[in-house]
Amino acid sequence: MYRDHNNSELNLSFITKKVTLSGWVQKIRDKGFIIWVDLRDRYGITQLVFDSERTSSALIEQARELGREFVIQVEGEVLERESKNENMSTGDIEVLVEKLTVLNSSETPPFTIEDKTDGGEDLRMKYRYLDIRRNPVKNKLIFRSKVSMAVRNYLSQQDFVEVETPYLIKSTPEGARDFVVPSRMNAGEFYALPQSPQTFKQLLMVGGLDKYFQIVKCFRDEDLRADRQPEFTQIDCEMTFVEQEDILNTFEGLTKHLLKEINGVDVQDFPRMTYDEAMKTYGNDKPDIRFGMKFGELNDVAQHKDFKVFNEAELVVGIAIPGGASYSRKEIDKLIDWVKRPQVGAKGMVYVKFNADGSLKSSVDKFYDETDLKAWAEQTQAQPGDLICVLSGEATATRAQLSALRMEMGNRLGLRKPDEFAPLWVIDFPLLEWDEDTQRYHAMHHPFTSPKVGQIPLLATDPGAVKANAYDLVLNGNEIGGGSIRIHDQKTQAMMFDYLGFTKEEAEAQFGFLMKAFTYGAPPHGGIAFGLDRLVAILGGQESIRDFIAFPKNNSGRDIMIDAPAPIDEEQLKELDLKLRS
Ligand code: ASP
C-alpha cells in the first residue's frame, strides 16, 4: 500500500500513530542536525522530519539525496510540532520518518512548483503537467469538475437525458469554419468536427427523447481572438413542447442552482431585456448590469447648435463617469487617447465636467451653454462630480465605442466585482444580420432559429426588423449561453434556407436529413447551449478561461506541449489520398 492517509489529513488526533504517506518533495530545509521535507500531494502538504538524534545516519544520508519533485513514500510516526503553522490543515503535526522509499527521481523542474511561480506563460504551457501540480491551476480544474457535476445533477433531476452525439460529421456552415478530417476509407471525402451538436439534438427531439443535454466538445476554426479556444466545451441542451418562456425558466433555474451550489449566492433578480433595449442602454448585447453608467442619447439636446460634428452624426450618445469631474486635463486627454486607439476606434470625445458645485464646463463651450449641458446631464443621469463623456458618429460603431469605454471605466473604478453576480436574459434578437462582405443577410443565431409568430411576412419588406425567438444568457458582461426556439416544419425551414441564399440543391445536400426528419412528425422544440469554459471561469471569479482547461491551446491554436498541429508523413498522406501543395 502506497499510503494510508493523504497529505492533508493528519492532525493532533493522530499523535504517536504510525502512518504511511506518498507524494512529491516540495521543499527541503537542511539545518545540518535536522532536515525538514515538505511532502505534497493533491490534497495538501505534510511536514516530514529527519532528526540526527532520533533518525539513523543512513536514513539522514538518504534524505540528503532527495531533490525537488522526487516522488517518495515514507513510513513514520506522527508527532506534535514545536512551532505550529495555523495556515495548514496539518500545521500542528509532523511525521518523524522511519523509512524512506524513493519511488521516482525528478529532474530539477523548469519553474518553481509553488502558488507564486517564476515560470513564464510559455514555459508553463510546455510543462503543463508540472503547472497542474501548482494549487492555482489544480484548484481550477477541481472547480471545473465541481461545476460540471452540479450541472449534471441538476439536469438529471429535471429528467434530461445525457446523450453523446458524433464528432465525425459533415461540414455545414454555422458561422465559423469547420475543422475537417480526411476519410481514409472514402478517399477524397472529409468529415468535419462539429461546431455544435445542433442538428443532432434537434433530431433527438424528433426521436422523442424530450429533454436532452450533453457536456460536449465543439470545434470552430476561427481566427483566434484573445481567450478563445479552437476546441471548447458546451453544456448543450434541447427540450420538446416548449416555448421560449419554458426554456428561460428552466435555465434560469440551472443558473440559480449553480450560483447557490458553487458560489453560495442567492440570486433573486433575473431581469429580461430586449436586444434593442440592451443596445440602446448599454451599447452591447451582453451588458454588465452590475454597474450603471447607462447610455444617454443626446441627439435631441445636442443637434440644434452649430457644432457640425454632432449635427452630422447619426447618433450622439454619452455616459456619466462617477467622480470623473475631478480628473485633470492630462487624465482626460489620456481617456480621449484611449477611445481613439484603433481597438476602440472613436474619432474624438467631447466631455462635460459636472462640477461638485453644480456648474458645468465642457470641451465645446463655444457651442453649448449651461442650459444645454444641463439637458445632457439629465439624459446621462449625471450627478454633480461626474464627467460626461460623449461620442458621436454612425450609430452601431458609436455604441460599440462607448460600450468599450463604459466597460473600461467599470474595470478602472472597480465596479466589476468578481464576487457579485448579475445574470440576465437578452431576448428578442433580430433573426437576421446584414453581412457587408457577402452583401446579404445571414442568420444571426443559426438557420434553424424560428422567427417570432407572425413576422414571416416582414422578411419580404424589412428583413432586418424580423425578430427571432432567440435569447442569450448574460452573466457579468459575458454571454454564457445562447439558444432559440427552432423551426420544426419542413416548409418554413426550406423557406429559411432559400432566404439565406442556399439553392434547393445546396439545402438538400447539407440539410436534407433534417428537413426529411421534419416531415415525420417533428414536435415543437427549442434549446440552449452554455459555454462551459467561460461559465466556469466567471463562477471562479476570473476573466480568463485558459487555466480552467487542463490542456489549452495558445493564441495561435497550438498545443506547445505535444507540439500540435504537426506535419504527417508521406505514407499517411498517400493513404488519405492527399497531396500537399509544394
Ligand atoms: N448550437 C447553438 C450554439 O452553439 C446553441 C443553440 O442554439 O442551442 O450556439
Ligand 1 center–CA 477 separation, angstroms: 19
Place of cell 449625471: 382
DSSP secondary structure string for all residues of 361-402: EETTTTT--HHHHHHHHHHTT--TT-EEEEEEESHHHHHHHH
Domain boundaries along the sequence of the chain: 12-104, 139-176+195-272+423-548, 291-412
Q: Is 145 left (phi over 0), alpha (psi -120 to 50) or beta?
A: alpha
| Distance in Å from the first CA to the final CA of the chain | 57
Position 265, amino acid: V
Cα–Cα distance for residue pair 288/475, rounded to 1 Å: 7
Grid coordinates representing 458 are: 416582414
User: What's the residue count for the chain?
Assistant: 582
Pocket mutation for ligand 1, best pick of 203, 235, 236, 450 (most atoms within 8 Å of C-beta): 236
Pocket mutation for ligand 1, best pick of 160, 165, 174, 198 (most atoms within 8 Å of C-beta): 198
With the C-alpha atoms ordered 128, 133, 136, 138, is the resulting torsion angle positive or negative?
positive
DSSP secondary structure string for all residues of 510-533: HHHHHHHHHTTTPPPEEEEEEEHH
For the CA atoms of the chain, what is the radius of gyration?
30
Residue among 404, 400, 422, 381 at smallest CA distance from 291: 422
Residue among 178, 152, 13 at smallest CA distance from 90: 13
Peptide bond into 173 cis (omega under 30): no
**Ligand 1 atom 4 nearest Cα:** 196
The DSSP call for residue 63 is H
Grid coordinates representing 65 are: 539525496
CATH class name, domain 291-412: alpha beta
Domain 12-104 sits in CATH at: 2.40.50.140
> How far from chain centre, in Å, is Cα 354?
37
Alpha helices by DSSP H, listed for 272-357, are 275-282, 299-302, 308-311, 329-340
DSSP secondary structure string for all residues of 417-460: -TT---EEEEE--BSEEEETTTTEEEESS-TTBPBPTT-TTHHH
Cα–Cα distance for residue pair 117/457, rounded to 1 Å: 61
Ligand 1 center–CA 343 separation, angstroms: 28
Q: Is 44 left (phi over 0), alpha (psi -120 to 50) or beta?
A: left
Q: Is 399:284 a contact under the CB 8 Å cutoff? A: yes
**In DSSP terms, which residues pair with 44 in a beta bridge?**
41
Cα–Cα distance for residue pair 232/229, rounded to 1 Å: 6
**In DSSP terms, which residues pair with 286 in a beta bridge?**
none
Ligand 1 center–CA 308 separation, angstroms: 44
Could you give the maximum distance between any two Cα atoms of the chain, in Å? 93
Residue 15: per-residue pLDDT: 98
Grid coordinates representing 252 are: 434560469
**Ligand 1 atom 8 nearest Cα:** 528
Residue 582: per-residue pLDDT: 73
Q: Quote the strand ranges of 160-207, DSSP E.
A: 161-162, 180-182, 190-192
**In DSSP terms, which residues pair with 390 in a beta bridge?**
318, 350
Cα–Cα distance for residue pair 546/555, rounded to 1 Å: 10
- Cβ partners under 8 Å of residue 398, min gap 6: 283, 313, 314, 315, 317, 346, 391, 392
**In DSSP terms, which residues pair with 41 in a beta bridge?**
44
Place of cell 441542451: 237
Q: How many helices (H) and strands (E) does the chain have?
A: 17, 22
Q: Is 318 helix (H, G, I), strand (E, B) or coil?
A: strand
Cα–Cα distance for residue pair 305/308, rounded to 1 Å: 8
Residue 227: per-residue pLDDT: 81
Cα–Cα distance for residue pair 415/529, rounded to 1 Å: 28
Q: How confident is the model over 529-579, as pLDDT tens digits?
A: 999 999 999 999 988 899 899 999 998 999 999 999 999 999 999 999 998
Q: How confident is the model over 130-165, as pLDDT tens digits?
A: 999 999 999 999 999 999 999 999 999 999 999 999
Residue 162: per-residue pLDDT: 98
Place of cell 457644432: 307
Q: Is 80 helix (H, G, I), strand (E, B) or coil?
A: strand
Ligand 1 center–CA 337 separation, angstroms: 38
Looking at ligand 1, which atom is closest to the CA of residue 484?
7
Residue 509: per-residue pLDDT: 92
Q: Could you list the pLDDT tens digit for every one of the 582 residues in the chain?
A: 999 999 999 999 999 999 999 999 999 999 999 999 999 999 999 999 999 999 999 999 999 999 999 999 999 999 999 999 999 999 999 999 999 999 999 999 999 999 999 999 999 999 999 999 999 999 999 999 999 999 999 999 999 999 999 999 998 765 789 999 999 999 999 999 999 999 999 999 999 999 999 999 999 998 877 788 999 999 999 999 999 999 999 999 999 999 999 999 999 999 999 999 999 999 999 999 999 999 999 999 999 899 999 999 999 999 999 999 999 999 999 999 999 999 999 999 999 999 999 999 999 999 999 999 999 999 999 999 999 999 999 999 999 999 999 999 999 999 999 889 999 999 999 999 998 888 889 999 999 999 999 998 998 899 999 999 999 999 999 999 999 999 999 999 999 999 999 999 999 999 999 999 999 999 999 999 999 999 999 999 988 899 899 999 998 999 999 999 999 999 999 999 998 887
Cα–Cα distance for residue pair 518/516, rounded to 1 Å: 5
Q: Is 209 helix (H, G, I), strand (E, B) or coil?
A: coil
Cα–Cα distance for residue pair 94/55, rounded to 1 Å: 14
Cα–Cα distance for residue pair 173/438, rounded to 1 Å: 14
Q: How are strands ordered across the β-sheet holding 360-362?
A: 296-297, 315-321, 387-393, 350-354, 360-362
Q: Is 232 helix (H, G, I), strand (E, B) or coil?
A: strand
Pocket mutation for ligand 1, best pick of 231, 234, 248, 444 (most atoms within 8 Å of C-beta): 234
Pocket mutation for ligand 1, best pick of 196, 247, 427 (most atoms within 8 Å of C-beta): 196
Residue among 406, 442, 418, 458 at smallest CA distance from 279: 406
Ligand 1 center–CA 196 separation, angstroms: 7
Cα–Cα distance for residue pair 403/406, rounded to 1 Å: 5
Instruction: Assess whether the C-beta atom of 482 lies below 6 angstroms from ligand 1.
Output: yes
Residue 516: per-residue pLDDT: 97
Q: Is 416:410 a contact under the CB 8 Å cutoff? A: yes
Residue 543: per-residue pLDDT: 80
Instruction: Assess whether the C-beta atom of 528 lies below 6 angstroms from ligand 1.
Output: yes
Q: Is it true that domain 139-176+195-272+423-548 has CATH number 3.30.930.10?
A: yes
Ligand 1 center–CA 463 separation, angstroms: 22
Position 193, amino acid: L
Grid coordinates representing 492 are: 418554413
